[in-house]
Amino acid sequence: MPLVTHSGFPRIGLKRELKRALESHWRGGTDARALKDTARTLRLSHWQLAHAAGADVVPCNDFSLYDHVLDTAVLFDAIPERYRLVFAENALDGYFAMARGHKRGGHDLHALEMTKWFDTNYHYLVPELQAGQRFALNGDKPLAEFREARSLGLHARPVLLGPVSFLLLSKTVDGSDRLALLDALLPPYADLLGQLADAGADWVQLDEPCLVFDLEDVDRAAYRHAYATLAAARTPRLLLASYFGALGDNLAMAAALPADGLHVDLVRAPEQLDAVLDALPADRILSAGVVDGRNIWRSHPGRVLPLLRKARARIGDERLWLAPSCSLLHVPIDLEAETGLDPQRRASMAFARQKIEELRVYADALAGQPEADAALAAQQGLLDAQANAPGVVVAGVRDRLHALGPQASLRRSAHAARRASQAEVLDLPPLPTTTIGSFPQTDDLRKARAAHRAGKLDDETYEQRLRAEIERVVRFQERLGLDVLVHGEPERNDMVEYFGEQLDGYLFTRLGWVQSYGSRCVKPPVIWGDVARPAPMTVRWSRYAQSLTDKPMKGMLTGPVTMLQWSFVRDDLPRETVCRQIALALRDEVHDLEAAGIGLIQIDEPALREGLPLRRADWPGYLAWAVECFRIAAGGVRDATQIHTHMCYSEFNDIIEAVAAMDADVISIETSRSRMELLDAFARFRYPNGIGPGVYDIHSPRVPGQEEILDLLHKALDVLQPGQLWINPDCGLKTRGWPEVEQALRHMVDGARQLRAEL
């Protein structure tokens, strides 16, 4: 019978127990023992849960107190010099110093850089390496966790990040070649694998997700060299794991590596199965990733069974393992906890536990158990019935999308003409000042929102509270002398949730937490049906704010790509179709704002870049629809209505053409940390529209001085035309305190005045 396995499980705990334990430890509230106890309890209960759900083999060493890439760096002693002292005093403190920085007892260390794990919303810590770097085994985490799992009587498979992906995901601080370090790294890997073999591990999983990237010949050579070296050592059997996409042009190389098994993602790339079966040498195991580890829907037996039957016909039961497409880290733990969901909706969903249960049923069905066959038939029937459930397909939404012509994504005139109309109507000074939307969210405000949600604060009182806050924010901005005001977003807890809650087609879970980084979790909304806007969402707040002042008020919306990117999206429609539906809903909001007298409307797209596919060949397709969706949302408004967008990152080189094609009248971006270097992409492209490069780093409590701001602005004017420059912070101000915001914005406004005098 095929084996049921999975390559990783969520760590944070159903009720975010790990988050609480970590944060309490960081606050000094609990000692390391208490933290480690919580961690062990979570590991044990997760193994037991997976085993009870039907896993034959459970992963171990997939757990992490913060991040598995950081764990790997520490395990092989890739610890940058600056942390060594703290490490020497206390290894756990050293570990957290690398994760979050360290300011204590005379140390002031910044953390490792953090970046997104492939195209997920999980962030890993980027190991810092340098030429001549030495590696050595440090600690015994994988062994200890293997023994721990075994002590429960479980069949456990240690998981390690593979050596080539580890290097490719790292950076060198001296610009030297990462892969040149491979020979230094392999001996401790081999050593560890030998120790795991001694401890009784029959298999080890080596994650090599970089196998789904566009690789250079040197990378492929590194793979061949690394695995030839490891194969020559005494190791358990090796499962090479790829995920998040097709192996594509790396397949021949990957299949030929001397490992004992290959895991492939058959959810993102079901079409690769034939080629994989052709390429796989006859003695290898195939771990078939057939259940989606990146989304929360039940699998379609009608799609999965043919894949499994084909694989089994070619390689037989003994060589076939059933697994989720990737680690279950990217989905919440247990749907059982979602007692508040509509039972119909719930029946079509699967979290980590349910995904393992599904795999069990597939394995049982392949083994010829009639109950399993019946269960799968019932599951397919249920999913088919769901496809016709009210709200899944809404004729009005489909018709509208169908009728959408190319003119929907057009403004009435080109930017130059729009600029003239806007200048006339808006009457702004040169170098206008504005902010990105949110103002400080005080405890008081959060409490009021929680109380209102819990039904303890009536609508009327809550509404009053929000209006008072908006008035305060408006007066504050007037007092400071900002040119374009915002209402401050006091009514929003989260920029996606706020809109999702008002749109048809979205639902929200109670405990659907997914780790974003360290102790930070997000609870992505779920898009299950056609998206439509039953009623205006922001208009009354913007209108109220505008009624308080003669200064222009900027409306504030979250863009379609970001609404998509930060949600779990239905899997029965192409993502671009769902995105177009959201774009249409936002378009209605844009028009209503315009009709309500709001002359500037900002459509935030902070997630546009992170949606970029892993393979470059797929970029143009994605960017085309992402840009089109933004343009649909912004399209059709009057020339005089000024459309802004905001993207809080700075890497524009790869996407500058697409950003220009969005044709927003003004874009604000994050630049203060990079000291304006990031404007280069815009300058080289001769980007013609308005740009507001951030001059205030809102991620830091530090208040920039006026000189510093002026200095940044001068740098901006070296590459931009004065007529296109806007002055604003890097991002929204909601995480900052009022006094620092007041000072920083005052310096910003004064800086603008001075610069105007120089023009």
Residue 732 binds to ligand GLN (criterion: CB under 6 A): yes
Q: Which of residues 319 and 734 has its CB atom nearest to ligand GLN in the complex?
A: 734
Strand order in the sheet with 203-207: 3-4, 320-324, 285-291, 261-265, 237-241, 203-207, 156-161, 58-60
- Which tokens belong to 142? 């994988």
Q: Tell me the closest approach of the beta carbon of residue 123 to Zn ion, in angstroms.
A: 16
d(CA 628, CA 404): 12
Interface characters, 554-583, with ligand GLN (x: CB under 6 A): --x---------------------------
Which range, of 423-431, 678-686, 704-712, 728-736, touches ligand GLN by CB under 6 A? 728-736
Task: Tell me if 731 contacts Zn ion by CB under 5 A.
Answer: yes
Q: Can you tell me the distance from the alpha carbon of 50 to that of 355, in angstroms, rounded to the nearest whole number?
A: 10
Of 295, 354, 438, 645, the one binding ligand GLN (CB under 6 A) is: 438
> 530-564 in b/e burial notation, b at 16+ Cβ within 10 A?
bbbbeebbbbebbbbbbebeebbbbbbbbbbbbbb
Residue from 253, 578, 648, 713 that binds Zn ion (CB under 5 A)?
648
207 binds, among Zn ion, ligand GLN, none (CB under 5 to 8 A by kind): none
Number of neighbours of residue 490 by Cβ within 10 angstroms: 24
Distance of CA 203 to the CA centre of its chain: 31
Cα angle: 521, vertex 496, 459; to 5 degrees: 105
**Token pair in block for residue 418:** 């729009």
Whole-number minimum distance, CB 646 to Zn ion, in Å? 6
Kindly report the three-state secondary structure assignment for every residue of 120-143: CCCEEECCEECCCCCCCCCCCHHH
Using CB positions, name the residue nearest to Zn ion: 648
Choose between 94 and 606: whose C-beta lies nearer to ligand GLN.
606
Distance of alpha carbon 348 from the chain centroid = 24
State which of positions 554-613 bind Zn ion (CB under 5 A). 606
- The smaller minimum CB distance to ligand GLN, of residues 72 and 441, is found at 441
The helix/strand/coil state of 224 is: helix
Q: Which of 437, 611, 635, 704 binds ligand GLN (CB under 6 A)?
A: 437
Q: How far apart are the first and last CA of the chain?
A: 77
What SS3 string covers 465-479?
HHHHHHHHHHHHHHH
Among 75, 436, 727, 741, binds ligand GLN (CB under 6 A): 436
Nearer to ligand GLN, 22 or 666 (CB): 666
Report the residue number, 120 or 728, with the smaller CB distance to Zn ion.
728
Q: Which of 731, 741, 745, 748 binds ligand GLN (CB under 6 A)?
A: 731
- Smallest distance from Zn ion to CB 517, Å: 17
Q: From the CB of 666, what's the least distance to ligand GLN, in Å?
A: 14
Comparing CB distances to ligand GLN, the nearer of 98 and 495 is 495
Q: How far is the CB of 630 from ligand GLN (least distance, A)?
A: 14
Q: Which of 2, 8, 606, 693 is close enough to bind ligand GLN by CB under 6 A?
A: 606
Residue 255 in contact with ligand GLN, rule: CB under 6 A? no
143 binds Zn ion (CB under 5 A): no
From 172-180, 353-361, 432-440, 564-572, give the range in contact with ligand GLN by CB under 6 A: 432-440
Residue placing its CB nearer to ligand GLN in the complex, 301 or 488: 488
Q: Which stretch binds ligand GLN (CB under 6 A): 22-30, 95-103, 426-434, 436-444?
A: 436-444
Q: In terms of residues, how long is the chain?
A: 759
Q: How far is the CB of 664 from Zn ion (least distance, A)?
A: 14
Three-state secondary structure along 149-208?
A: HHHCCCCEEEEEECHHHHHHHCEECCCCCHHHHHHHHHHHHHHHHHHHHHHCCCEEEEEC
Min dist CB 488 to ligand GLN, Å, is 9
d(CA 45, CA 156): 14
- Annotated binding residues for 5-methyltetrahydropteroyltri-L-glutamate, written as ranges, equal 16-19, 116, 121, 520-521, 566, 610
Residue number, 489 or 697, with CB nearest to ligand GLN: 489
Candidate list 276, 408, 470, 495; residue touching ligand GLN; CB under 6 A: 495
Q: Which residue has the tokens 């509509």?
A: 342
Quick one: which segment of 23-31, 373-381, 497-505, 644-652 binds Zn ion (CB under 5 A)?
Answer: 644-652
Helix 182-199 crosses helix 217-232 at what angle (to 10 degrees)? 40
Minimum distance from residue 733 beta carbon to ligand GLN (Å): 7
Distance in Å, CB of 487 to ligand GLN, minimum: 11
Helix (H, G, I), strand (E, B) or coil at 665: coil
Does residue number 486 form part of the binding site for Zn ion (CB under 5 A)?
Answer: no
- Residue 410 Cα distances to 112, 405, 555, 579, 581, angstroms: 43, 10, 20, 17, 17
Q: Contact between 646 and ligand GLN (CB under 6 A)?
A: yes
CA–CA separation, 436 vs 648, rounded Å? 10
Alpha carbon 309 to its chain centroid, in Å, reads 34
Residues making up the binding site: 16-19, 116, 121, 436-438, 489, 520-521, 566, 604, 610, 646, 648, 670, 731
The active-site residue out of 6, 51, 123, 699 is 699
- Phi and psi of 222, rounded to 5°? -65, -40
Residue 437 interaction partner, one of Zn ion, ligand GLN, none, beta carbon < 5-8 Å per kind: ligand GLN
Q: In sequence order, what are the residues at sequence separation of 6 or more whose Cβ sits closer than 8 angstroms to the Cβ of residue 507?
A: 341, 342, 345, 525, 526, 528
Task: Answer yes or no whether residue 604 interacts with ligand GLN by CB under 6 A.
Answer: yes
> According to CB under 6 A, which one of 452, 533, 734, 736 is a site residue for ligand GLN?
734
Q: Does 537 bind ligand GLN (CB under 6 A)?
A: no
Look up 591 and say whether it is catalytic. no
Q: Which residues pair with 160 in a beta bridge?
A: 206
Reference 562, options 522, 615, 618, 620; nearest CA is 522
d(CA 37, CA 28): 16
Q: Which is nearer to Zn ion, 25 or 609 (CB)?
A: 609
Give 370-377's long-range contacts (Cβ < 8 A, gap of 24+): 376/301, 376/305, 377/301
Residues that bind Zn ion (CB under 5 A): 606, 648, 731
Residues with catalytic function: 699
Residues that bind ligand GLN (CB under 6 A): 436-438, 489, 495, 556, 604, 606, 646, 648, 731-732, 734
